[in-house]
């Protein structure tokens, strides 16, 4: 059996998050830089298939990481109260970082409206999901019990998913009515991270928390098998479950739309099946990405792990270069083939940012040292 301390961080989570991060960068870059007339080709459509994976994957992986953290706390004898506090602090820190990122984008691209500064995006939903998972750990002085935590997580994820259409209709009312009074206007911004308020919300906690809940259950299961020395087979089972879940969710979504009519939105009853479909895609990344990373050469695998450990910084850095004012020379101007070298260059520069984040001043000093040494060598007769 592995030592409890080894459960605090599983490299497979970082590997899966790193691959998801690379897929995210290419998805955003091709979406922003390829011109509309070239978005009908098969090459671009292939990039769209992969672009559907990162968002559910990041939330599934956030849930899996919390499950590892919960299991480690149980083995160390850490109290559920301490774990709860740690997860709440972490979740609220990530959420706060989301608002700081919004402010940074406003500084780069100029002021448009309060909706840009206070919009709820991917960092917000990841942070709030971590905090919600923390609340599920309970508040006892004894160690958390994974079975009880898992029951709470599953119940909360299912409840919010079922209530999503009703809560999203409330969000639409807030959006349509927030001009009527200052109180409703404030309430719209306060509610935007939690429910879908059109014009402000990009990624609401309801129903996307369900992906973190499913990730928690998958992570707890993987941790149990890791303790017994099993590695690849559980990942294959997770990947297979992801394929089946995604297919069932897609079929359920189509059937629900046929029966109920209308178009898919968070206010439609079919949203529950759509959540299941994309949860399956997140599970697929969790299962397949570590298997792929394990078969990469050592240096390439290190690159993937580094991206996984500092994925937040890669996200923050590359978005303005895809959609902001800095991307003006590239936006909607290229074909897929023309854009590909620039996409690769963006990945390389993003990786440099990741390395600087992880290694700090030492990385800069090392680069300067190598550059100086190379210059002296070239000047030697």
Task: Note the pLDDT of residue 4.
Answer: 41
Percent of the chain with pLDDT over 90: 80
> Which among 295, 317, 352 is the end of a domain?
295
Task: Note the pLDDT of residue 10.
Answer: 81
Cα gap 176→96, rounded to integer Å: 27
pLDDT tens for 242-278 read 999 999 999 999 999 999 999 999 999 999 999 999 9
Residue 74: name the closest of 145, 148, 147, 150 by CA.
145
**Pair 178, 184: CB distance under 8 Å:** yes
Helices assigned H by DSSP within the chain:
11-33, 42-51, 54-76, 80-109, 114-117, 122-135, 146-177, 182-191, 205-227, 232-260, 271-294, 298-309, 311-323, 336-359, 361-379
Shared-domain flag, residues 262 and 326: no
Shared-domain flag, residues 260 and 300: no
DSSP-based three-state secondary structure for 324: coil
Percent of the chain with pLDDT over 70: 90
Shared-domain flag, residues 246 and 366: no
Mean pLDDT of 198-218: 96
pLDDT tens for 303-347 read 999 999 999 999 999 999 999 999 999 999 999 999 999 999 999
> Which among 270, 295, 320 is the end of a domain?
295
User: At 349, is the pLDDT very low, low, confident or very high (cuts 50, 70, 90)?
Assistant: very high
381, pLDDT greater than 70:
no
177 falls within a domain = no
147 falls within a domain = yes
Shared-domain flag, residues 59 and 25: no
Task: Note the pLDDT of residue 6.
Answer: 47
Task: Note the pLDDT of residue 183.
Answer: 86
Bridge partners, 120 (sequence order): 201
Q: Integer distance in angstroms from the first to the last C-alpha of the chain?
A: 59
User: At 75, is the pLDDT very low, low, confident or very high (cuts 50, 70, 90)?
Assistant: confident
pLDDT tens for 154-176 read 999 999 999 999 999 999 999 88
Cα torsion at 304, 305, 311, 314 (round to 10°)?
Answer: -50
Task: Note the pLDDT of residue 245.
Answer: 97
> Which among 295, 319, 345 is the end of a domain?
295
User: At 178, is the pLDDT very low, low, confident or very high (cuts 50, 70, 90)?
Assistant: low
Shared-domain flag, residues 222 and 287: yes
374, pLDDT greater than 60:
no
User: At 130, is the pLDDT very low, low, confident or very high (cuts 50, 70, 90)?
Assistant: very high
Task: Note the pLDDT of residue 7.
Answer: 53
pLDDT tens for 40-70 read 999 999 999 999 999 999 999 999 999 999 9
- The token pair that represents 141 in the structure block: 């002085």
270 falls within a domain = yes
DSSP 334: B
300 falls within a domain = yes
Peptide bond into 207 cis (omega under 30): yes
Shared-domain flag, residues 38 and 65: no
The answer to which of 100-109, 180-189, 223-232, 361-370 has the lowest mean pLDDT is: 361-370
Residue 24: give the domain boundaries.
14-51+296-381
Shared-domain flag, residues 282 and 364: no
Task: Note the pLDDT of residue 1.
Answer: 32
User: At 285, is the pLDDT very low, low, confident or very high (cuts 50, 70, 90)?
Assistant: very high
pTM value is 0.91
Enumerate residues 6+ apart whose C-beta is below 8 A from 134: 66, 83, 84, 85, 86, 87, 88, 90, 91
User: Mean pLDDT over all residues of the chain?
Assistant: 90
DSSP for 111-147, please give it: ---HHHHS-B-HHHHHHHHHHHHHHTT---SSPP-HH
DSSP-based three-state secondary structure for 81: helix
DSSP-based three-state secondary structure for 108: helix
Task: Note the pLDDT of residue 46.
Answer: 94
Shared-domain flag, residues 354 and 327: yes
305 falls within a domain = yes
189 falls within a domain = no
176 falls within a domain = no
- Domains: count for the chain: 2
Cα gap 70→378, rounded to integer Å: 54
Cα gap 116→112, rounded to integer Å: 7
Shared-domain flag, residues 158 and 43: no
134 falls within a domain = yes
């Amino acid at each position: 059996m592995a030592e409890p301390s080894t459960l605090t961080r599983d490299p497979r989570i970082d590997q899966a998050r790193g691959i998801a991060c690379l897929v995210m960068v290419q998805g955003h870059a091709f979406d922003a830089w390829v011109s509309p007339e070239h978005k009908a080709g098969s090459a671009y459509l292939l990039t769209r298939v992969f672009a559907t994976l990162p968002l559910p994957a990041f939330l599934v992986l956030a849930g899996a990481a919390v499950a590892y953290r919960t299991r480690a706390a149980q083995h160390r004898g850490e109290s559920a109260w301490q774990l709860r506090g740690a997860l709440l602090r972490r979740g609220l820190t990530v959420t706060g970082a989301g608002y700081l990122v919004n402010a940074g984008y406003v500084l780069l691209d100029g002021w448009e409206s309060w909706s840009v500064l206070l919009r709820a995006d991917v960092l917000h939903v990841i942070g709030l999901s971590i905090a919600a998972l923390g609340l599920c750990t309970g508040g006892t002085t004894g160690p958390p019990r994974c079975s009880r935590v898992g029951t709470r997580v599953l119940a909360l994820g299912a409840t919010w998913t079922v209530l999503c259409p009703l809560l999203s209709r409330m969000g639409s009312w807030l959006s349509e009515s927030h001009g009527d009074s200052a109180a409703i206007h404030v309430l719209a911004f306060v509610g935007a991270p939690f429910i879908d308020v059109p014009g402000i919300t990009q990624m609401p906690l309801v129903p996307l928390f369900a992906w973190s809940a499913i990730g928690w259950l998958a992570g707890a299961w993987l941790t149990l098998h890791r303790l017994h020395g099993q590695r690849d087979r559980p990942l294959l089972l997770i990947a297979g479950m992801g394929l089946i879940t995604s297919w069932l969710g897609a079929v359920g979504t189509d059937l629900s739309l046929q029966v109920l009519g209308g178009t898919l939105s968070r206010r439609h009853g079919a949203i529950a099946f759509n959540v299941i479909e994309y949860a399956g895609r997140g599970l697929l990344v969790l299962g397949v990405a570590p298997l792929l990373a394990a078969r990469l050469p050592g240096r390439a695998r290190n690159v993937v792990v580094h991206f996984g450990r500092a994925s937040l910084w890669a996200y923050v850095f590359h978005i303005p270069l895809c959609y902001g004012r800095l991307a003006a020379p590239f936006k909607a101007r290229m074909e897929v083939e023309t854009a590909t070298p620039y996409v690769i260059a963006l990945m390389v520069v993003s990786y440099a940012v990741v390395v600087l984040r992880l290694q700090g001043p030492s990385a800069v000093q090392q680069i300067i040292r190598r550059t100086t040494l190379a210059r002296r060598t070239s000047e030697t007769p």
